[in-house]
Amino acid sequence: MNFGSQQQTPFPHTPLPGNQDIQPITSVSEFLDDGSAMHHCVASYIESTEGRGLTYRVLAPKRATLKIVRLPDGKLRIGQIKLAYNATPAENTSGRLSKWSDTISRT
């Protein structure tokens, strides 16, 4: 994929703020950098991010990429969590991210 001049294009505002461990990916360039750093195929999902999904860089408890999806009723839920090389995270990582998304979704 070649995104050329689109790399600095910002994504729409994210309704879920990040924190020191969970940071929203806010541009095409950040999206591509995350996929490269994590050695996974997140870049193939780039077109689904506009309006339907949000992607986050997770720094702790384990480095991961988090995809939040918007359901037809407007609610948000975790769609996918992947570690480097598309590995599946341990339960403690998934559980911590679920708690974060539940807390943020209620505000």
What pLDDT shows up at residue 2? 47
Is the overall model pTM greater than 0.85, yes or no? no
Distance CA 89, CA 70 (A): 22
Closest CA to 27 of 63, 59, 57: 57
What pLDDT shows up at residue 104? 63
What pLDDT shows up at residue 45? 60
What pLDDT shows up at residue 32? 84
Distance CA 43, CA 47 (A): 9
Segments of the chain with pLDDT less than 70: 1-13, 41-53, 104-107
What pLDDT shows up at residue 23? 92
